[in-house]
Each structure stands twice: as structure tokens, then as C-alpha cells.
Amino acid sequence: MLDVLKFKSPKSAPSANQGKGHIEVSDVSITFGTGADAHQAVQTTSLTIEAGEFVCILGPSGCGKSTLMNAIAGYVMPTTGEVTVDDVRVEKPGPDRGMVFQQYSLLPWKTVHENVAFGPRMAGASLTEAGSVANTFLGLVGLRKFGNRYPMELSGGMQQRVGIARALANYPSVLLMDEPFGALDAQTRLMMQESLLDIWRKFGTTVVFVTHDVDEAVFLADRVLIMSAAPGRIIEDLHVDLPRPRSTDMATAPEYIQARQFCLDTIKSESRKAFAAQNQ
């Protein structure tokens, strides 16, 4: 039986599957196609993400960030190596791993409330149970009053909050976010970043967040994993020592400036190498 049917009462504040969400990526490489058409998207990569951590994966476009995320999500099987979540080998997508993409990917013909209730319903929850879960998570993302609206009637930022609520409604131990704020304007994006940290603090799940934006990575993460240019591998693992809760005022803190500069320098030197290799 799925966790969703056994979870804590929806009337109480949602809390994470405490201690769950430990990810191991062991010697994973991913190649698409075969023979002359073979294209390596991810070079042999190993990494450990602790339960409850907020990790950002930062790297240039096309370096394999989404491919690595898809391997954790179970949409792509590694060519070599394996991914485990809480010691279980990932072989397909599952409700323990919620996914939020840049495109809002809501069901346009369903209301906001129905969109969030959909996952629990599919997992076998009754209409009443699924409705309570939807209310709880819409409350968590600040959209309880918008349950009867259709996605098209909401702004991009609000739709993405529904997407987060929808992913959390399955009580995942891991939340995988692939450039989720990439389509939002700068102002909304900043608000969403603060809001996401607030949701994460309350829900406590492991978050893996892909971005190509250095400021976004440093602001959000406990750790920033920097990927090389294609084919991607992780070349730096930076711990961000900024205190929590964080606010956008921290952009002037010396630790922030230092971490940001380190990321920029790493990416710049990596781009130079890639450029030189292309011109050889």
C-alpha cells in the first residue's frame, strides 16, 4: 500500500517522511543512441545526497542536468551504474519522487483542487481523503482559496505553486525540480525562491533543484553541485554556509558573494576549456 493511504492526518501540518530521501548515484553514465549515433550525455558520475538536503545542480545548457535528474526520477535508465533512493534501485518513476518541471504540466481541464487531488486518487485514496490532502497542500503553497479555478486562470507563479502542491500531495521523500522557475519573470522568481524554502522547511523533503542561474543556486542550496560542459560530470561540490531561514537580503553577505564568485569562476574556466576543445 502506498504511503498516501497511511499518512498522518491531513488536518495536521504536513511533515516529511523524516529521515527518508537518501539518494546514491553510483558510477552512472548515460549515453543516448548506439554506434555512430551514440551521444554521451552524462559522464561517469557518483554522488550522495543526504535525506532532507537541498541540493542544486548548476551547469550550462546541454550539459546533462535534465538527463541526470531523469535518471533519479526513473524516466531514463543509466547506461552504466545505478541510482538508489533509500537503498531501493530506481527502475521507473514512483510516487516517492515528485517532479516539477519548467512547464507547469497541470491538467488544464481539471480545477486546481482536482489537479492536486489527482495523485492521491490514483494511489487509491477516497474522494474525501484526496480532497483533504489537496486542501492541506494548497494551504501550504498559499492557494487554498483558488481550488475552484482552472490552471489557465492563474498566473505562471501560481500555476507553478500548484505544480509543487501536486508533487507534494503524494508525500514524496524526494522532490526533483528541473528549472522550475525558468519561465517566470525576475520578481516572481525571487518570491517563488523564498516561498519554496518556506515550503521545504515545513515539509522537510530532500530537494534536488536544477538551474543554470548561479544566484538561484547559491540562495537556495545547502550544496551546489557544478557540472562540466557536455558531456556532463560533477566537477565541484560546494557547501553553502549561509544561515537559514534565508532571505533575498543575504545577497550582500560575504559568504554569499564568495560562493557566487566561486561558482562563476568555475563555470567560466569550464566554458573556456570547452571552447578551446571545440576549436582544436
Question: How near is the Cβ of 33 to ligand ADP at its closest, in Å?
Answer: 6
Q: For residues 27-66, which are near Mg ion according to CB under 5 A?
A: 66
Q: What angle do CA 203, 98, 69 make, to 5 degrees?
A: 120
> Does position 65 bind ligand ADP by CB under 6 A?
yes
Interface map 133-162 toward ligand ADP (x if CB under 6 A): ------------------------------
The residues with which 40 forms a beta bridge, in sequence order, are 31
Q: 197: how many CB neighbours lie within 10 A of its CB?
A: 18
Go through 36-45 and write b for each residue having 16 or more CB atoms within 10 A of its CB, e for each that does not.
eeeebbbbbb
> Does position 228 bind ligand ADP by CB under 6 A?
no
Interface map 159-178 toward ligand ADP (x if CB under 6 A): --------------------
Interface residue with ligand ADP among 27, 32, 155, 191 (CB under 6 A) is 32
Interface residue with ligand ADP among 10, 21, 52, 64 (CB under 6 A) is 64
CA 171 remoteness from chain centre: 14
> Does position 230 bind ligand ADP by CB under 6 A?
yes
> Does position 62 bind ligand ADP by CB under 6 A?
yes
Residue 248 interacts, among ligand ADP, Mg ion, none and using kind-specific CB cut-offs from 5 to 8 Å, with: none
The residues with which 225 forms a beta bridge, in sequence order, are 57, 237
Interface map 63-82 toward Mg ion (x if CB under 5 A): ---x----------------
> Does position 182 bind ligand ADP by CB under 6 A?
no
Residue 52 interacts, among ligand ADP, Mg ion, none and using kind-specific CB cut-offs from 5 to 8 Å, with: none
> Does position 271 bind ligand ADP by CB under 6 A?
no
Question: How near is the Cβ of 12 to Mg ion at its closest, in Å?
Answer: 36
Instruction: Evaluate whether 125 touches 4 at the Cβ level (below 8 Å).
Output: yes
**Cβ-proximal residue to Mg ion, closest one:** 66
> Does position 67 bind ligand ADP by CB under 6 A?
yes
**CA quadruple 256, 262, 265, 269: dihedral sign:** negative
The residues that touch Mg ion, with contacts defined as CB under 5 A, are 66
The residues that touch ligand ADP, with contacts defined as CB under 6 A, are 32, 39, 41, 59, 61-67, 230
